[in-house]
Copies of this chain bind each other. A is one copy, B any other.
Amino acid sequence: MTADRAETRLDEDARWARAERILDAATDLLLRWGYKRVTVDEVAKRASVGKGTVYLHWKTRDALLYAAVLREWLEMFGALIDGIRRDPEELRLHRLIRASFLASMERPLIRATLTQDQELLGRLTEYGAGGALQAEQTAARREYYAMLREHGLLRTDLDPDTQAYALSATSTGFYLATPLVIAEQRPDLSAQADALAWTVRNAFEPVPPAGAAAVRALAPTIIRLFERQRAFAERELRVQHQP
């Protein structure tokens, strides 16, 4: 029985390692060549497996490429959670948005998703739309805002829906301004992140700011919330991984 379980465990580990090799290859090709030019054959070759093996892991090419993107999201999520663990002050809206901005921008696949980069991601930009993950993210964001409000870390002089819309629109602007605005008059990435944080803090956080005690009190709940999201995304990745 123990042997059985151990053997299965080894199989699963090996299987996951292989999946990661395939995802590595897919990610590499996606970045190098863009959505259209990535072929399953080439991915298989670079991962040193047969093409059929790729289809043992994912139902379709799109599912494979989406998994590659998903893996980067997962990685970014982990980084954000670590950040909050390291310093709970990081959970303040403007700090978290600043960190998210930087973390997204330095991960090409995520940046491409957020900027709807057709060249790099093709129809993948709409692959997850309407999916369970997206619904989960929206719900989690809503909960995050609600908690911030409860602890005096977010203004309450605007109804939550409108506020969420305004916040989303504001952030969107900074994400998209990068390709849109002319290079000359654009500050460097960390200055952009600072400008975004500054704007968000002034527009959405109360004055005077809530004290550190509120932040510390909230930290465990927020971390739990984000870990729930991370776990959800991870499950999504595993499902893709075992059709």
Q: A: which residues have CB within 8 A of B?
A: 116, 155, 158, 161-162, 164-166, 168-174, 176-177, 180-181, 185-187, 191-192, 194-196, 198-200, 202-204, 207
B187 engages A162 (CB within 8 Å): yes
Which one, B161, B166, B194, contacts A196 given CB within 8 A? B166
Q: Are B187 and A177 in contact (CB under 8 A)?
A: no
B195-A165 in contact (CB<8A): yes
Q: Which residues of B contact A173 (CB under 8 A)?
A: 168-174, 176
| Nearest CB of chain B from residue A158's CB, rounded to whole Å | 6
Interface contact B161-A198, CB-CB below 8 Å: no
For A114, give the chain B residue with the smallest CB separation: B180
Asked if A195 meets B181 with Cβ closer than 8 Å, knowing A161-B187, A173-B174, the reply is no
In the bound complex, how far is the Cα of B170 from the Cα of A204, in angstroms? 13
Choose among B158, B168, B180, B199 the residue that contacts A166 (Cβ–Cβ < 8 A).
Answer: B199
A185 touches B199 (CB 8 A): no
B165 close to A187 (CB less than 8 A) = yes
Interface of A is mostly: helix
Q: Which residues of B contact A186 (CB under 8 A)?
A: 165
Q: When chains A and B are docked, how far (Å) is the Cα of A173 from the Cα of B101?
A: 14
In the assembly, what is the distance between CA of A185 and CA of B165, in Å? 8
Which residue among A161, A176, A195 has the maximum number of chain B CB atoms within 10 Å of its CB? Answer: A195
Residues of B within 8 A of A168 (CB): 173, 177, 181
**Complex contacts, A198 vs chain B, CB 8 Å:** 158, 162, 166, 203
- Once bound together, how far apart are the Cα atoms of A174 and B199, in whole Å? 14
Q: Given known contacts A158-B195, A202-B203, what 10 new A-B pairs fall within 8 Å (CB)?
A: A116-B180, A161-B185, A161-B187, A165-B185, A168-B173, A169-B192, A169-B196, A172-B180, A173-B176, A202-B202
A169 close to B177 (CB less than 8 A)? yes
